[in-house]
Amino acid sequence: MRNTRADAYENTPRDVIATGNDYPTHYVLPAHSHRRGQLLYASTGVLTTFTSEGSWVVPPRRGLWIPPGVTHEVHMGGTVATRSAYVTAEAARLAGLPQHCQVIAVSPLLHELLQEAVDLPAEYDIDGRDGRVMALLLDEIRRMPALPLSAPLPHEKRLAALCRELLQQPSQEVKIDHMAQRAGMSRRHFTRTFREETGMSFTAWRQQACLLSALTRLGNGEPITQVAVDLGYGNPSAFTAAFRRVLGVAPSRYLGLP
């Protein structure tokens, strides 16, 4: 089912259905939710998803698991092609899929299964080949490892507003004292509350926000030198080192860039 609204198939009597869609640069899917869980796979391009809990960046050939009922907004960083598998709440529960949004790796097998699944009829034969493809697809989603490509949002209103603002224009140069002052908190109160609300220090969160922004910009073809400077790194080498510490490889290799 290509270029099809998923809600048209919410009531299809199958545990898993799949759709494929193509989106132009900077297209935004407004906040919405599904009764089914969704594996949102970026076949090409980079996309960013926002919920009340945080933001997640999905580079090419990675996917985002969105549990049933979670309201989410999706921003396309450039031209994006997606493949999505929608899983009923009961099937997701039985498969042990995550209860929170999570970026996952996508194996070559899962990639091919998603490519195949979007061409199957909505009411495929459960007991035939098509049903086995979908069953294997669900099993492969379950076994994929999680990736550190999210920036959690605090629940405290002042901190949440500041973090949303910083996600729009992240920089390593934003200091703790500046954030604490804007939040109307002492430095100690700010750092303690931030860690309690997000599970990480502000310094680590700030770096994560910068790396997520970098993934989108580099995926759109922006030069690494410009991205590094804009994000407040002293030079491209410092940025690459920070990227490698978090994601294990250099930016060009992670994104499959030439």
Q: Across the chain, what does the average pLDDT equal?
A: 93
Structure tokens at 79: 């031209």
Which CATH fold topology does 154-255 show?
Answer: Arc Repressor Mutant, subunit A (1.10.10)
Which pLDDT value is given to residue 2?
Answer: 63
Q: Where are the domains of the chain?
A: 6-142, 154-255
Among 43, 36, 102, 105, CA closest to 76? 43
User: Cβ(248)–Cβ(242) under 8 Å?
Assistant: no
- For residue 8, pLDDT over 80 is answered with no
Write down the pTM of the prediction.
0.90
How much is the average pLDDT of 71-90? 95
- Positions of E strands within the chain: 16-23, 28-32, 37-44, 47-51, 54-58, 62-66, 72-76, 80-87, 102-105, 150-152
In total, the chain counts a number of residues equal to 258
Query: How sure is the predictor about 252, in pLDDT bands with cuts at 50, 70 and 90?
Result: confident
Question: How does pLDDT run across 211-245, given as a tens digit for each residue?
Answer: 999 999 998 889 999 999 999 998 999 999 999 99
pLDDT-derived band at 3 (thresholds 50, 70, 90) equals low
Q: Express each pLDDT in 82-140 by its tens digit.
A: 999 999 999 999 999 999 999 999 999 999 999 999 999 989 999 999 999 999 999 99
The string of pLDDT tens digits covering residues 168-197 is: 999 999 999 999 999 999 999 999 999 999
When the candidates are 3.40.50.920, 2.60.120.810, 3.30.450.60, 3.40.47.10, the CATH number that belongs to 6-142 is 2.60.120.810
pLDDT digits (tens, 9 = 90+) for 42-62: 999 999 999 999 999 999 999
Q: Tell whether the model's pLDDT for residue 258 goes beyond 60.
A: no
